[in-house]
Amino acid sequence: MTATITLTTDFGTRDSYVAQLKGVLLQLGPAALRIVDLSHEIGAQNVREAAFFLRCAVPRFAPGTVHLAIVDPGVGSARRALVAEARGQYLIGPDNGIFGWLLDAGAHVHALTATPQSAPGGSVSSTFHGRDVFAPAAARLARGEALAVFGPRVVDPVRLAWPQPVRSGARTSGEVVHVDRFGNLISNIERDALPAGPSWVSLGAEPIGPLRDHYAEVGQGALLALIGSEGLLEVAVRDGSAAVVMGVGVGAKVEVETKSPAGT
């Protein structure tokens, strides 16, 4: 059977860091190994951006997949490293919150206590744990080794608080948590958290309009609010960039006013 290891890093590909990871994985992993690039363009040392990325991406993969994620500003410090199993998939990376939105109560989390090692032909360093600690361990996970062999159980992995929207009567207040390549402003307001009934959205002081189902409900260049592909309310411009048009980004306030269906 083919094992799959995915890669999510902030390394870019102009440097050789990702290439080195891949070499180590292919040397130490199972013979039938599929390496799948998720992203190497996470903002440099932006753990929170990586955590949001993984929150969206990981649930789409099959049980048994190994996800290696390295955005690691604390490399070389005392920060722990983790291997974990959550909903049948495996996660491996620094214990800095990068998996903070995936490690739910049912997850099995262990410390990764290995000393840096090299694949044949290579040297070892104290600064590139991605290559010398995480990749060898990911290769072993993909070969089927159990979590417990990597280190002791961890009960307090770093978790990230999901910024909860605040609901007050008919009003739900949240904020932009991600701006995507198309300039869509993605908020922390989940579809399921909204009261039933027609909703009216504003962004800061700016009225956006009713909550829509499709981009095509408004004309080209018009602003709209809809539930995006993650089930989160987003503000968009049809065939344009809401981030550019509105001049705002992460942290901007979003408000939804919902009329009860009975019109009371």
**Residues 84-143 contacting a second copy, CB under 8 A:** 87, 119-123, 125-128, 131-132
CB 173 within 8 A of CB 226: no
Q: Which of 26, 111, 222, 245 binds a second copy (CB under 8 A)?
A: 26
Nearest residue (CB) to a second copy, 54 versus 112: 54
Give the dihedral of Cα atoms 221, 225, 228, 230; nearest 10 deg: 140
Give whole-number Cα distances, 127 to 23, 62, 75, 116, 136, in Å: 18, 32, 6, 10, 15
Give whole-number Cα distances, 97 to 80, 102, 173, 182, 190, in Å: 11, 10, 25, 26, 21
Indicate whether 4 belongs to the interface with a second copy (CB under 8 A): yes
User: CB of residue 162 vs a second copy: minimum separation in angstroms?
Assistant: 16
User: CB of residue 169 vs a second copy: minimum separation in angstroms?
Assistant: 28
Indicate whether 6 belongs to the interface with a second copy (CB under 8 A): yes
As beta bridge partners, residue 202 has: 207, 255
Nearest residue (CB) to a second copy, 30 versus 195: 30
CB 129 within 8 A of CB 116: yes
CB 257 within 8 A of CB 170: yes
Indicate whether 30 belongs to the interface with a second copy (CB under 8 A): no
**Window 218 to 247, contacts with a second copy (CB under 8 A):** 226-231, 239
Total binding residues toward a second copy, as defined by CB under 8 A: 78
**Window 171 to 210, contacts with a second copy (CB under 8 A):** 178, 180-182
